[in-house]
Amino acid sequence: MKIASILRLLTQVVIPSLLILFIPVLPALAAVGTINIAPTTGPPQTLISLSGQNFTANSTFTARFGTTTVASGYIDGAGNINTSFSVPLLARGQYQVTVTTGALDTSNTALFTITPEITLGSSSGSVGTQVAVNGRGFYANSDVTLLFDGRAVATVRALADGSFFNAVITVPASTKGTHTIAAFDTIGSTSGVSFSVLPSINVTNTAVGVGDQIAINGNGFAASSNITIYWDGGAVGGISATTSASGSFTSNFTIPSSSRGQHTIRARDASANSASVILTVAQKITLSPTTGSTGDSITIAGTGFSANRQITILYNGAPIATSPFSVFTDSSGSFTASFTVPAGRAGTYRVEASDGVNTSSADLVAVVKTTISPETSVSSPGHVGMELTVEGTGFKANSIISVTYTPDLILATTTTNARGNFSVTFTIPPSAAGQHTITVTDGQTIDSFTFFMELTPPPVPALLSPQAGARADQPVHFVWQSVTDPSGVTYILQVAKDPNFVTMVIQKEGLATPEYTLTEQQKLESVSKDEPYYWRVKAIDGASNDSGWSSARSFYVGFAFELTGWILYTIMVVEGLVFLAMGYLLGRRRS
């Protein structure tokens, strides 16, 4: 009962009395202030001015951007706040700016919208230049596309705070002048940042020699404009180049006769835009030809050496005689001379030229050299028994040389001398008409020639004896006309019982002379003139060229005369008288 009375006393008397006492004091303890910010939009790190009024004088304040404290200080005696701060590095979006005071004042809320922004590592450069791009104020963890004149050139991923750093783009082919680089996230692109494209040229090689050909590549010039090339300030004729719609061009350029040292190539368009590059012309030698064999003459030309200096020329590390005997450079450091390839094995040899300070070298490929004498051709063929000589240089020293003939007949062997040289003579063996290969080798190096064997057949032999239709005595002796051929000839004799040589009696091949006598074993049977034998001959040369058969001739073997005419009648009369006589004698005997 006592506790309830106490509670009633507190709620009905004490607390109302206290409120009456403190209500007049509350306005003096807290105030309602207002704040303003400028600007209200921008990227992170934008400088914001914050002003406030009607705050409790001489009290402290704290300003926050979202949840980030950005400023603090004291309110002046008039209750005003004047301060500034930079927008924190936060992602794209709208954020509240608030102020709290130590006097527990209240204030309105200001809103700030973070927008994206990019900055460039450089504001100008040539085509191909790599430009660093930094971004802030983009959506958190979003893909950002980088644009060059509205064309996508790279993509980068923004961090959780909406920023990215050191994204790299390569300046694409563009004309000279101002271009725009921008960035695009899920909503839209930033305002563009200006980038100035400068004209530039580059060459495929900056260390060159006189006569070298290089390519000049130009970018960043005016579109569709004629280009003039200058060498050390002088325009070079004969070069035609026009830029593309994007201000690019390519032109080939041959280094003109120039002294040793640095020289400038400059390209200029019709709008007076130009760019240049420095080249260094160095000493250089060229060989013509670059391959040769023992005894061949090689021309050596040098450029870029010191002026008016004597030149020493080495072949395979040793001095070599030249023409002229003493070689000097002219006033521009150039010279020309020649030398003869010395005897030696085939291979690659270094040729060096030096003016005592500057040295240049080139490689000469020494090759084997073989000659054959005499040479043959389709119009001037060779023949069996022909004597040929092959000479060679550049082969292995002191090695065995084999000369083979199609397909693998060894015609001759010999040995090279200490310098790899040789000479060998051989004779062409009997072989078919047409092309054949003569091969020369030391077992490692090989060379070959084509030998043309003659295709002309020998003449057809004329038959001499036995004559047509004549009686031949046994043993029959055949004689025909001798024929000749560069490749030599042999003969084939055929004897048959019919003019078509179907029923062959004798065939004799490889006859070296234009005659043949039948042996006892080959003795022919006697035949009448009405059923004679036939014979023919042909010649074959050493290249297997065939003359073709002679016309066939007939002959017979047997009786010395024929029982015809009066001889036959005489025999018949004699035989009749003999029979009469014999009959008479037999009759008398019987009587």
Alpha-carbon distance of 591 to 105, in angstroms, equals 207
Q: Is 495 a member of any domain?
A: yes
Per-residue pLDDT at 18: 46
| CA neighbor of 164 nearest in space, from 112, 117, 114, 115 | 117
Structure tokens at 435: 């092309």
Q: Are residues 514 and 476 in the same domain?
A: yes
State the CATH number of the domain containing residue 142. Answer: 2.60.40.1930
Count of C-beta atoms within a 10 Å radius of residue 59: 15
Residue positions counted in the chain: 591
Confidence of residue 8 (pLDDT cuts 50, 70, 90): low
Half-sphere exposure of 294 (CA within 13 A, CB side): 18
517: phi then psi, degrees, rounded to nearest 5? -110, 130
Q: How many domains does the chain have?
A: 8
Q: Are residues 361 and 373 in the same domain?
A: no
Q: Is 69 a member of any domain?
A: yes
Q: Is 425 a member of any domain?
A: yes
Q: Are residues 342 and 261 in the same domain?
A: no
22: phi then psi, degrees, rounded to nearest 5? -90, -20
Q: What is the CA radius of gyration of the chain?
A: 59
State the CATH number of the domain containing residue 409. Answer: 2.60.40.230
Q: Among 240, 266, 281, where does a domain finish?
A: 281
Q: Yes or no: say if 464 and 479 are a contact pair by the CB < 8 Å rule.
A: yes
pLDDT at 581 over 70: no
pLDDT at 538 over 70: yes
Confidence of residue 24 (pLDDT cuts 50, 70, 90): very low
Expressed as residue numbers, the domain containing 164 is 117-198
Strand pairing partners for 140?
Answer: none
pLDDT at 66 over 70: yes
Count of C-beta atoms within a 10 Å radius of residue 441: 18
pLDDT at 167 over 50: yes
Confidence of residue 4 (pLDDT cuts 50, 70, 90): low
pLDDT at 25 over 50: no
Q: Among 263, 281, 299, where does a domain finish?
A: 281
Q: Yes or no: say if 220 and 244 are a contact pair by the CB < 8 Å rule.
A: no
Name every residue whose Cβ is closer than 8 Å to that of residue 476 and which is 6 or more positions away in sequence: 466, 517, 518, 524, 555, 557
pLDDT at 22 over 60: no
Confidence of residue 589 (pLDDT cuts 50, 70, 90): low
Q: Yes or no: say if 501 and 535 are a contact pair by the CB < 8 Å rule.
A: no
Q: Is 19 a member of any domain?
A: yes
Q: In degrees, to the nearest 5, what angle opens at C-alpha 475 toward C-alphas 471 and 477?
A: 70
Name every residue whose Cβ is closer than 8 Å to that of residue 224 and which is 6 or more positions away in sequence: 242, 243, 244, 245
Q: Are residues 142 and 178 in the same domain?
A: yes
Q: Among 453, 473, 502, where does a domain finish?
A: 453
- The stretch 370-382 carries a mean pLDDT of 94
Q: Yes or no: say if 170 and 152 are a contact pair by the CB < 8 Å rule.
A: no
pLDDT at 266 over 60: yes
Alpha-carbon distance of 340 to 338, in angstroms, equals 7
Query: For the sheet containing 200-203, what is the strand order?
Result: 200-203, 213-219, 249-254
Per-residue pLDDT at 561: 45
Q: Are residues 441 and 485 in the same domain?
A: no
Structure tokens at 554: 């007939």
Per-residue pLDDT at 259: 79
Give me the helices (H) in 10-52, please. Answer: 15-22, 26-29
pLDDT at 14 over 80: no
State the CATH number of the domain containing residue 325. Answer: 2.60.40.10
Name every residue whose Cβ is closer than 8 Å to that of residue 302 and which is 6 or more positions away in sequence: 283, 284, 285, 311, 329, 333, 334, 335, 336, 353, 360
Q: Is 543 a member of any domain?
A: yes
pLDDT at 6 over 80: no
Alpha-carbon distance of 401 to 412, in angstroms, equals 8
Strands 284-288 and 297-303: antiparallel
Confidence of residue 239 (pLDDT cuts 50, 70, 90): confident
Q: Are residues 11 and 49 in the same domain?
A: no
Please say whether the dihedral angle defined by the alpha carbons of residues 257, 259, 261 and 266, taken in this order, is positive or negative.
negative
Name every residue whose Cβ is closer than 8 Å to that of residue 585 and which is 6 or more positions away in sequence: none
Q: Are residues 162 and 228 in the same domain?
A: no
Strand pairing partners for 362?
Answer: 351
Q: Yes or no: say if 95 and 111 are a contact pair by the CB < 8 Å rule.
A: yes
Q: Are residues 322 and 383 in the same domain?
A: no
Count of C-beta atoms within a 10 Å radius of residue 227: 23
Q: How far is CA 465 from CA 480, 522, 539, in A?
A: 7, 17, 17
pLDDT at 238 over 80: no
The mean pLDDT of the chain is 89
Q: Are residues 296 and 247 in the same domain?
A: no
pLDDT in tens, 481-520: 999 999 999 999 999 999 999 999 999 999 999 999 999 9
Q: Is 458 a member of any domain?
A: no
Per-residue pLDDT at 270: 93
pLDDT in tens, 434-467: 999 999 999 888 889 999 999 999 999 999 999 9
Q: Are residues 582 and 538 in the same domain?
A: no
Q: Is 408 a member of any domain?
A: yes
Q: Is 400 a member of any domain?
A: yes
Name the E strands within 256-399.
Answer: 261-269, 274-281, 284-288, 291-292, 297-303, 310-315, 318-319, 327-328, 335-340, 347-354, 359-366, 369-373, 387-393
Q: Are residues 93 and 79 in the same domain?
A: yes
* 286 burial type by CB count under 10 A (0-12 exposed, 13-18 middle, 19+ buried): middle
Q: Yes or no: say if 537 and 480 are a contact pair by the CB < 8 Å rule.
A: yes
Q: Are residues 510 and 570 in the same domain?
A: no
